[in-house]
Structure formats: C-alpha cells, structure tokens
Amino acid sequence: MSKSLQAIRGMNDILPEQTPLWRYFEGTVARLLDNYGYRQIRMPIVEFTELFKRSIGEVTDIVEKEMYTFDDRNGDSLTLRPEGTAACVRAVLEHGITGGGQVQKLWYIGPMFRHERPQKGRYRQFHQIGCEVFNLDGPDIDAELIVLTWRLWGELGIRDAVKLELNSLGTAEARARYRDALVEFLSARLEHLDEDSQRRLKTNPLRVLDTKNPDTQAVLVDAPKLADYLDDESRVHFEGLKARLDAAGIPYVINPKLVRGLDYYSKTVFEWVTDKLGAQGTVCAGGRYDGLVEQMGGKPTPGVGFAMGIERLVLMLEALDKVPEELSRQVDVYLCAFGEAAELAALTLSERVRDQLPNLRLQINAGAGSFKSQFKKADKSGALYALILGDDELAQQVVGFKPLRGQGEQQSIAWDALAAHLATCVVQG
Ligand code: ATP
Ligand code: MG
C-alpha cells in the first residue's frame, strides 16, 4: 500500500480485537468517576494555538517541539490538543461555570496529539482520561483524586504494579526563589551539565531536575532542595495530603525531583509509575494548578487534576494478564437459520426475543452456508448456545437449542418459550 494511504506513524487503529478491553477500561473509570460525583465534559479536539502556549508554557517540551500546529484557511493558528487541562480551563471560563467560587468536579476522555518519537507506550495520537476540580483549595481534594485512582487500580487488579510518587512545588513565589538558588548553583557547575540541561538552565531550569544524564544527576546530588524553599502554606497543604494518604492506607514515596513537564503546576504534583512498561513508566500524572485560571484571564480559582494514559494502562492490563475472562466472549447466542422461510422467521423471532431480553447478545448468521459452516461460525463466535431454525423447526414453531460449551444435550424449545428459557441460562451483564 502506498505510504500516503497508510495510517500516520504513531497514530493507531484500535482494532475490534482490542476494543473490548478499551471499553472495559473506559467503562470502569467512567463508573468510578460518576460514583465520586465527577461530571463529564467534552471539549473540541482543536483549539487556538495561543491557548496551549499560554497555559502549558512556551518553554516546555510540549510547546517547543511536540504540538501539531497548522493554519486554518482563514489564517488562524490552530493546534490539535496535546492535553486536556488547557481546553477544560478555557471551557469553564468561557461558560462561567466556575464563577463565584462554584465548585466543579469534571472529567473528560479523548484523543491527544503530540509529535514524539513513537515507541511502545508513546504515540502521536494517544488517549487520556482526565479529571479537573475547580474551587477547592484543600488537600482533601488532592487526596480524593489519588484515592479514587487507587481504587481504580484495585478494581483493575494492578495495585501491586504501580507506585505513587509525590512532591510539592510550592507556590509560584516559593518556586521562583528556589529557581534562583538552583540557577546560581548550576551556573557555577555549567561545564558538568549535559547539553540539554545547559539549555534548560536558561529556559526552564526546574526541568534540569528531570535529567536522565548520569553526570548531571551527580551534580544535582548537592543542589539546593525544593523542599527547603517551600512556603508555609504549601508545607501545611503537603502535610495535610500526606496525612490523608496515610489514613487511607495508600503507600507513596516522596520524589523531590518530580517537577512535571508543564509550567502550570503549584503545590501538589504526583505520578503513578510502573516498572512493567519499560521506559514509558508513568501511567497517570497530575497536580495542583492554583494559578492557571487567573493566568488565563479568570478570577483566582484553585484547580487540581490528573490525566491517565489509556494506551499505557491497556498495555499494563495485558502485560499483567488482567484482561477479564468474559471479554473474550462477545456473543451469548448464535442463531443459525437455513432456507428463505426460516431466515424470515429467524428475524421476527429474534426481534421478539430482543424485546424481552434487551441485554441479550444475540447474533443471527449472516448469509447462506451449509449446516457445517454455520455451526463452525457459531462456535467461533464464542457463543454459549446455538439456536437452529430449519424447515422442520419452522413447521413445528420451535428452535433447536444446542449448548456449545458442553453444557448438556440439544433440545427443542417452542418459540413462545424461548425468551424465558434463555433468561434462565444466559447470565446477562
Ligand atoms: P512522559 O513523561 O511519559 O512523556 P508526560 O509527563 O509528558 O509523560 P502528561 O502530559 O502528564 O505526560 O500526560 C499524562 C499521561 O498521559 C502520562 O502519564 C501518560 O500515561 C500519557 N501520555 C503522555 N504522553 C503520551 C504519549 N505520547 N503516548 C501515550 N501516552 C502518553
Ligand atoms: Mg511527555
């Protein structure tokens, strides 16, 4: 196939074999968020470029080199959203739903776009589920976000495989004081820093803490610590969060180097990381951004949120063998009809059954075929039972009811009794 007729590198089709697991994951998260009182919001996938520059920060990896930016036909610069928070803040401001201190607990789901080097767990179109909470400034809500993700890991059966890393970045002022101290320290040791870190020192010095370079990491051992620069308010907030996580029995490690790649964070930042996915180990990340709404033209409005990467979590469920058994079966009952008259009867009969059992997963054979080939399809579908409707059955207004998974002999069931019979033997989700 010519390259221009293939999918774009790093942008993947999610095939029918994979969608049951995606839907299971998304459904589990959605139910959990509903239960905690979060409401879904849906934002457009494209926004003005300026929105992301202003919110994420000009000198971040995302804005400097990862955005899909293009000119609209009328000359506006637009960008495929690289993350959800900026658009969510824009939306709540635009609709005035956080005005007057109104609390909003929101969640969103959808594709994000970043021009990164595609590899396992890192794509150019990927998907996130995220939460954003506005107008709650206490550590209790930071804790709730973490507690609900902890519950999610429990429901998915992957708690043992994730670890919570926590840090506090302090207020913008505290961070500015720390930044000055860090710059002074690192500038005196410039020649020991890798090239990337030398550049970051000028543009976004906190990101130097993120470095993977061993020499730079060695220099950082004696660098000033952000924790020593925390303002009292942030310190109290952080202690409050830790106390709540302790009370909830959620283990965590403090990672003083956790700074996150976006400019808008303040106070709490956290990441759920795993060692089951190789280099792409962060499955969920977030933090507090008390200054962001104001920075985007709104009234001062505390905010906190997180986003999780669906691809990485799906990969994890597969790697840890946590794909629920029942996902492999998408059909309960497979109806095989033979001959024109029987096919017609099959249609009306199956519609009657669906009326009575709306959750039944019933598939009718598509197209003609020998008895043998129909049966093969029925078996392959994973269905628990096959229904057989040929001329004989038609004449007697019955169907052959054949268990496909070794649960007993074939029997004859009257059409009128079929729904009731199915209700007793198919457990409906
Ligand atoms: P990383 O350090 O892995 O690049 P990030 O800090 O850039 O992550 P965030 O912007 O915090 O990531 O996004 C939240 C989550 O979204 C990440 O923890 C990850 O699970 C997922 N994610 C981010 N970028 C990608 C990507 N290119 N492909 C797949 N998932 C991603
Ligand atoms: Mg990244």
Which residue among 117, 280, 283, 311 has the greatest number of ligand 1 atoms within 8 angstroms of its CB, and so is best to mutate?
280
* Of 395 and 259, the one with more pLDDT: 395
d(CA 316, CA 311): 9
Q: What ligand is nearest to the CA atom of residue 286?
A: 1
Closest ligand by atom to 312 CA: 1
In the reported structure, the alpha carbon of residue 272 is separated from the centroid of ligand 2 by a whole-number distance in angstroms of 14
> How many of the other CB atoms lie within 10 Å of CB of 134?
26
Pocket residues for ligand 1 (CB within 6 Å)?
A: 83, 114, 116, 121-123, 126, 128, 261, 280, 282-285, 307-309, 311-312
Tell which residue, 232, 228, 130, has the closest CA to residue 177.
228
Statement: residue 427 has pLDDT above 80: no
**Cβ 114 vs Cβ 81: under 8 Å:** no
CA of 14 to the centre of ligand 1 (A): 19
For 213-248, how does the pLDDT look when each residue is reduced to its tens digit (9 = 90+)?
899 999 999 999 988 999 999 999 999 999 999 999
For a pLDDT cut of 70, what percent of the chain falls above it? 98
| pLDDT tops 80 at residue 40 | yes
Residue 332 exposed, middle or buried by CB count within 10 Å (0-12, 13-18, 19+):
buried
Q: Output 256 or 138, whichever has higher pLDDT.
A: 138
What is the per-residue pLDDT across 47-87, written as a single tens digit (0 to 9) for each? 999 999 999 988 788 998 999 999 999 999 999 999 999 99
At residue 387, the pLDDT reads: 96
Mean pLDDT, range 143-157, rounded to an integer? 98
Q: Which atom of ligand 1 is nearest to the CA of 312?
A: 20
Average pLDDT over residues 329-353: 93
Over range 258-278, report the average pLDDT.
Answer: 89
In the predicted model, what is the mean pLDDT of residues 286-302?
A: 94
The proportion of the chain whose per-residue pLDDT surpasses 90, expressed as a percent, equals 80
> Under 8 Å CB-to-CB from 372, ≥6 apart: which residues?
none
Give the model's pLDDT for residue 61: 86
Q: Specify the 3-state DSSP secondary structure of 29.
A: helix
Residue of 135, 43, 35 whose CA lies nearest to 86:
43
Q: Rounded to whole angstroms, what are the CA distances from 278 to 78, 164, 271?
A: 34, 17, 16
Note whether 127 and 310 are within 8 A (CB): yes
pLDDT in tens, 176-207: 899 999 999 999 999 999 998 998 898 889 88
Structure tokens given for 324:
């629920």
Average pLDDT over residues 318-340: 93
Ligand 1 centroid – CA 288 distance (Å): 17
Backbone torsions φ then ψ of 343, nearest 5 degrees = -60, -40
C-alpha of residue 114 to centroid of ligand 2, in Å: 8
Domains detected in the chain: 3-171+231-319 (3.30.930.10), 329-427 (3.40.50.800)
State mean pLDDT over 267-293: 95
pLDDT at position 429: 46
In whole angstroms, how far apart are CA 145 and each of 54, 186, 187, 408?
Answer: 25, 35, 38, 49
- Residue 328 CB neighbours (<10 A): 10
Instruction: Indicate the angle between helix axes 415-425 and 340-356, nearest 10 degrees.
Output: 50
Q: Which of 25, 126, 265 to mutate to test the pocket of ligand 1 (most atoms within 8 A of CB)?
A: 126
Query: How much is the mean pLDDT over the chain?
Result: 94
Lowest mean pLDDT of 67-81, 251-265, 401-415, name the range: 251-265
Q: What is the mean pLDDT of residues 292-312?
A: 96
Which pLDDT score is estimated for 367?
67
CA 34 to ligand 2 center in whole angstroms? 28
Ligand nearest to the CA of 279: 1
Higher pLDDT, 161 or 330: 161
Say how many Å lie between the CA of residue 118 and the centre of ligand 2.
Answer: 12
Q: Which residues contact 364 (CB under 8 A, 6 or more apart)?
A: 334, 335, 337, 346, 347, 350
Confidence band (pLDDT; 50, 70, 90) for 353? very high
> What is the sign, positive or negative, of the torsion defined by CA atoms of 173, 174, 179, 181?
positive
In which element (H, E) is residue 84 found?
none
Split at pLDDT 50, 70, 90, the class of 366 is: low
Cβ atoms < 10 Å from Cβ of 47: 19
